[in-house]
Structure 1
Amino acid sequence: MRPVATRSGFDDKAVSQRRAFIGGAFVRAPLWVLAAAVLWGTTGTTLALAPPETDPLVLGALRLALSGPLLLATSQFSRAQLLSAWRSVAVASLAVAAYQPTFFLGVRANGVAIGTLIAIGSAPLLAAALEMLTERRPPSLRWLFATVLALLGLGLLLHPGGTLPPTPTGTLASLAAGASYAFFVFATRRAVRAGLAAQQVIACSFVAAAALLIPLLFWRPVGWLSAPGGLLAALYLGIVATALSYRLFARGVAGTSAATLATLSLAEPLTATLLAVFVIGEDLTSQQRIGVTSLVAGLSLVALGEQMHQRGASTTPFDPVREERA
């Protein structure tokens, strides 16, 4: 029921209820994003526990083929909305298709912890660089300092002491995955500005990317699916680590600031690292631990700077008339 207008504007009880509802949604939103990030962090460990002959390209295609239709089935939008943002959706689809094989190849080559940290850790920096080049928005001094700190962390991770260094192929694959994710985020934001909701963009992108990768099933080995754990790994990645996680992410993104999203996304490499150490049995050297700390500190400074900026910009009090029209 719509609030009843009074001489003062709106019924006080209705306004209070609306404020409580909106406030509760904003409180819950970061929890949805955090839950999604934790699920994302399980993908590398799932690949490590899959049969040794598992093909990363096929696994990435199956992941999208399972998750895309599930997300699309829970999305509602018109053809006109899709056509209004088809270019951005196309870019997002290509980025998703590229991310799947490059991420898994990087993890397979360099291990769960390093492969995931390079891909996920480089993505925010690459996204910021893409935004700077396309929108001509110069970074602040705080952002520059934080970026240098994060790059230092990546450098320490790329040259670990006491262990075999990451392979060039695996490193390039992980960086390509980070760039793909940066393009996906950039294109998704543009599609949202054109009128699509976040889940609508994600669903369309995943279905289109799956269509691009499905031909891999006809010329890549798929016998590993019949091995113990093979089919289970594909089902888990498609349904839980992708469809469910992005469903949670879509529910939380509308009520969470960009700064908070960046901070909560650090739960993904953190989860991957903890799983790699305690489940897979991998180990991080002292130098790599310093690298992780430096990377987290740099990204946290970026998030803190954005949060301070939004606090200064978002000082408008609650307006029941504006909220009702929205």
Structure 2
Amino acid sequence: MTSPPPRALSARVGIVLLVVAGLSWGTSGVLGTLLVRASGLPFLSVAAYRILVGGLLLTGFALAGRRFRPPRTRAGILRIALLGGASAVFQLAFFSAVGAVGVSVATLVAIGSAPVFVLVVDLATGRQRLHPRLVAALACTAAGLALFMGTPPAGIDPAEALLGCGLAVVAGAAFASISLLGARPHPDFDDVTGTALAFGLGGLVVLVVAAASGGPIAFAPTPASVALVLLLGLIPSAVAYFAYLTGLKAHSSTTGVLVSLLEPVTGAVLAAVVLGERLPPAGLVGAGLLLAAVALVAWPPRGSAREVDAAGAGLGEGDQLGVGVPEVACTSPAWIAHTTPVWASAASRRGQVWSRMVRSATAGENPRSSSSRTAASGDGASVFAAPHSRPIARACAAESGDSSRWAATALTSST
């Protein structure tokens, strides 16, 4: 008997996971700095320990839950290789930038540039549409980063500062690549297995580079240093990336990278509390603008459509902001699966709501034929789906073994 697939992740749970990821990443700077002080390791070695320990923790979690499934296809192996390579590039570029321009500038340039890369790709591929709230969020991001960054540390050579900022931009591109790759689940493995294997591969690459750079890799273990290594591998690595990649199942990569702007805000607060660093007034205003940007994408206005990206349906930020209808379900004699919440209403500028049924499919009919433009009744289940969701309906029917009995109705909005 074929078991139904897992329930699609709701938009609300997805946002919570993305927020958890941003807050967890914010601990990396403080934990890394404390580990450097406690162990005497260089930042590159700390980066290697961070993702290697994170990968080991995720592997143990997957094995304990019997979820560890290594990829067996070329596509799955390629996905792991790309994720591992992007993770290694991010760690190497980011911590090299930290050594050149400092933690604050490197973090803000890297995290601030990632949404730009993701937005360009999503716009080019049609997965993202610009909306007033998104434009406002990007404007808040740009202004907040400019204020939050403040004045670069004194005494840095201009050429070195340019190199450091360039490396931070490379780190931002690598993080954007992780977001874009992680936004689409792969059938070969789940998020835990994929992240664990990618961390293991990326950690080995960073470890080799750290050893080749001549810096020490081993350190004399103490209770404090061992605890910091475990915390660095657990919170900003295993927990953060697992929460982030899982949250991307319900939201677009643009939303993910914008919510990740919680990282520099969290890092600044922790640095002030733990390390005694002071945030200037301009930085406080900038932090507020970053939080406003996160709020704009995390909490859409009341009554708008929620963004759902169920099993790679390709729904983008526009669907969250009220221009798509992100629901899909399948029906068969055995089970009804893959149904997600939907609020399918869109208001025109004059305040009217225009909704119409445009496509459906009934038993044995071609969903593209004119005769199928009626609501499907079948065995009592009616299904509403955006055009993006038709592939999922067909996949559900194929999974159930009854491809002749599926119903899908597309509900679109006209203005």
TM-score class, shorter-chain normalisation, is 0.7 to 0.9
In the aligned structure 1, how far is the partner of 2:48 from the partner of 2:236?
14
Whether 1:77 and 2:57 are equivalent positions in the alignment is no
Distance 1:188 1:198 in 2: 8
Matching residue of 1:199? 192
Specify whether residues 159 and 172 from structure 1 end up closer, same or farther in structure 2 by C-alpha distance, changes over 3 A only. farther
Question: Quick one: which amino acid aligns to residue 156 of structure 1?
Answer: L
Residue 112 of structure 1 contacts residue 272 of structure 1 at CA under 8 Å; is this kept in 2?
A: no
Whether the 8 Å contact between 1:32 and 1:249 is mirrored in structure 2 is: yes
Residues 90 and 174, structure 2, Cα contact 8 Å, conserved in 1? yes
Distance, in Å, in 2 between the alignment partners of 1:286 and 1:250 is 34
Structure 2 CA distance for aligned equivalents of residues 295 and 26 of structure 1 = 21
Relative distance call for 1:22 and 1:34 in structure 2 (3 A) is: same
C-alpha RMSD over aligned residues:
3.9
Deviation at 1:96, TM superposition (A): 0.3
1:87 has 2:74 as partner? no
Which residue does 2:182 correspond to in 1? 188
**Offset at residue 22 of structure 1 (A):** 5.5
Moved more, 52-61 or 107-116: 107-116
* 2:38 is the counterpart of 1:38: no
Partner secondary structure for residue 51 of structure 1: helix
User: How far 1:43 moved relative to its partner?
Assistant: 0.5
Q: Distance in 2 between matches of 1:261 and 1:233?
A: 27
SS at match of 1:283: coil
8 Å contact 1:160–1:285 — kept in the other structure? no
**Residue number in structure 1 paired with 2:239:** 244
Q: Please state how far the C-alpha of 1:61 moved relative to its aligned partner.
A: 1.4
Q: What's the TM-score, normalizing by structure 2?
A: 0.60
| 2:34 matches 1:49 | yes
Distance (Å, rounded) in 2 between the aligned partners of 1:217 and 1:112: 19
Tell me the equivalent position of 1:323: 337
Of residues 49, 52, 57, the one that matches 1:62 is 49
SS in 2 for 1:225: coil
Q: Distance in 1 between matches of 2:294 and 2:116?
A: 9
Partner Cα separation in structure 1 for residue 16 and residue 294 of structure 2:
19
* Superposed displacement of residue 44, structure 1: 0.2
Unaligned runs of 5+ in 1: 4-17
Letter in 1 for 2:325: S
Indicate if the aligned counterparts of 1:44 and 1:112 stay in contact, CA closer than 8 A.
yes
Please give the secondary structure, in 2, of the residue aligned with 1:140.
coil
Structure 1 distance, partners of 2:255, 2:74, is 31
Matched, 1:124 2:119: no
Matches within 5 A, 1:66-215: 66-73=53-60, 74=62, 75-77=67-69, 79-80=71-72, 82-133=73-124, 135=125, 139-140=129-130, 142=132, 143-160=134-151, 164=154, 167-190=161-184, 192=185, 196-215=189-208
Check whether the contact 2:11–2:251 (CA below 8 A) recurs between aligned residues.
no
Change (3 A) 1:34 1:141: closer
In structure 2, the residue corresponding to 1:221 is in which secondary structure?
A: coil
SS of residue paired to 2:151: coil
Letter in 1 for 2:109: I
272, 275, 281: which one pairs with 1:280? Answer: 275
Moved more, 114-123 or 292-301: 292-301
1:267 maps to 2:262 = yes
Deviations 1:233-285 (A, max 9, x none): 3332123331233344455544x433764565343222212101221121222
**Whole-angstrom distance in 2 between the partners of 1:252 and 1:144:** 22
- The number of aligned residues is 305
How far did 1:90 drift? 2.4
Distance in structure 1 (CA, Å) of the matches to 2:146 and 2:259: 23
- The range that moved more, 262-271 or 178-187, is 262-271
Counterpart residue identity of residue 77, structure 1: R
Superposed, which structure 2 residues align to 1:291-310 within 5 Å? 291-298=286-293, 300-302=295-297, 309-310=319-320
* Amino acid in the other structure paired with 1:37: G
Counterpart residue identity of residue 31, structure 2: T
> Greater CA radius of gyration, 1 or 2?
2
More strand by percentage: 2
Quote the offset at 1:124 in angstroms.
1.9
| Secondary structure of 1:226's aligned partner | coil
Amino acid at match of 2:69: F
In structure 2, how many angstroms separate the alpha carbons of the residues matched to 1:165 and 1:304? 42
Q: Give, in whole Å, the separation in 1 of the partners of 2:263 and 2:75.
A: 32
Q: Is the 8 A contact 1:110 1:171 kept in 2?
A: yes
Q: How many angstroms apart in 2 are the aligned matches of 1:122 and 1:24?
A: 28
The sequence identity of aligned pairs, in percent, is: 23
Which letter maps to 2:206?
L
The structure where helix makes up a greater share of residues is 1
The TM-score with structure 1 as length reference comes to: 0.74
Indicate conservation of the 8 Å contact 1:48/1:112, yes or no: no
Distance (Å, rounded) in 2 between the aligned partners of 1:205 and 1:315: 30
Q: 1:9 — aligned with what?
A: none
Structure 2 stretches of 5 or more lacking a match?
Answer: 301-315, 339-395, 400-415
Q: Distance in 1 between matches of 2:280 and 2:235?
A: 31
Q: Distance in 2 between matches of 1:78 and 1:316?
A: 31
The code of the aligned residue for 1:225 comes to F
